[in-house]
Amino acid sequence: MKKYTKSLPKSHQVSLPLFDWREVVIQPAPATRAGLHLTRRYRIRPAIADTIASLAGLGASQEAR
């Protein structure tokens, strides 16, 4: 009785870095609650979130108190 045997394909050695060694950039938290919401909701940089929130008039009534 003949058995079907197929040789396994030879794997190629690929050298990849185990870790990504880029520098970590810590960004300051948004200054406003509206900026914090935009940062978390849309995953944008905190400075841009604060700018968008102020231009859109988000949170202006709460921060004026």
What pLDDT is recorded for position 29?
81
Which is it for the CA torsion 45, 50, 54, 56, positive or negative?
A: positive
Q: What angle do CA 52, 54, 64 make, to 5 degrees?
A: 155
Kindly state the percentage of the chain with pLDDT values over 70: 55
Task: Please say if the pLDDT value at position 64 is more than 60.
Answer: no
Considering the entire predicted model, what is its pTM? 0.50
